[in-house]
Each structure stands twice: as C-alpha cells, then as structure tokens.
Amino acid sequence: MKVRVVYTTQVKAALGIASEEPEVSTDCTMATLMKELATRHPKVFAEFVFDGARLRPSILLFVGDRQTNLDDSIKLVEGDEVTIFAAISGG
C-alpha cells in the first residue's frame, strides 16, 4: 500500500522534496515507516530527524491532523498522510 509523507521546513529543504509516496507493507507502523525513510535518506535523517536511534526532540510527527510518536503501535492505512515536522523559530 502507499502512504503520503509530507516534509516541512529544514527537512524539506535538505531533501529537496516536499512529499513522497513510499510503498509500505500493510502492517506498517510509524516506527517501521520512519526506519524505511531513514534507509532511503540516510544523510538527511541522520542530520535532521534522528539522533542515533532516538527521534530528535525538535521533530514532531503527525498522521493526518493527529500528533503521534515513534512508539505509536497503530498501523498505518492506505492513503494516510504522515507529516514530519521540524521545529522553526524564524521571527
């Protein structure tokens, strides 16, 4: 199945894409999706998204309009929109 991943701010700038639609397994959770994305984009995810195995505290995750976290066991479904939101402070 496909889900839509939306990137914001510095993560979007570093990746050079605003979104993508990876093919994932039907039992995909937030943790497995993020692991797959980190494999696709190792340099950017290591710099902006993960600090080792830990999600950086400046990254927020959303499924649809609901905030979630890396440990959320709820399975993603076809067509879910996952937002990887990086904190900004421009004034």
Partner 1 sequence: MHSARELTDEDRAIHQWQMWVDDFGEVGQQRLKQATVLVSRCGGLGSVVAYELVAAGVGRLILAHEGNIQFSDLNRQLLMNYGAVGQSRVEVAKRRLEEFKPQTIIDAVPENVNDRNVQELVEQVDLVVDCAPLFEERFALNRQAVKMHKPLVECAMYDLEAQLTTIIPGKTPCLNCLYPDTPPDWKREFPVFGAVSGTIGCLGAMEAIKLIAGFGQTLSGKLLVCDLRSMTFRTLQLNKDPNCDVCSQINTVAG
Contacts with partner 1, residue ranges (CB under 8 A):
8-10, 12-13, 18, 47-48, 56-58, 60, 62, 65-67, 83, 85-91
Q: How far apart are the first and last CA of the chain?
A: 40
Give the residue with the Cβ less far from partner 1, 26 or 57: 57
Calpha distance 27→45 (Å, rounded) = 23
Residue with tokens 């914001």: 8
CB of 61 to partner 1, least distance (A): 10
To the nearest whole angstrom, how small is the minimum distance from the Cβ of residue 44 to partner 1? Answer: 11
Q: Which residues contact 22 (CB under 8 A, 6 or more apart)?
A: 2, 3, 5, 33, 36, 37, 40
Minimum distance from CB of 13 to partner 1 (Å)? 7
Nearer CB in complex with partner 1: 37/86: 86
Q: Which is nearer to partner 1, 23 or 71 (CB)?
A: 71
Residue 61, φ and ψ in degrees, nearest 5: -115, 140
CB of 83 to partner 1, least distance (A): 7
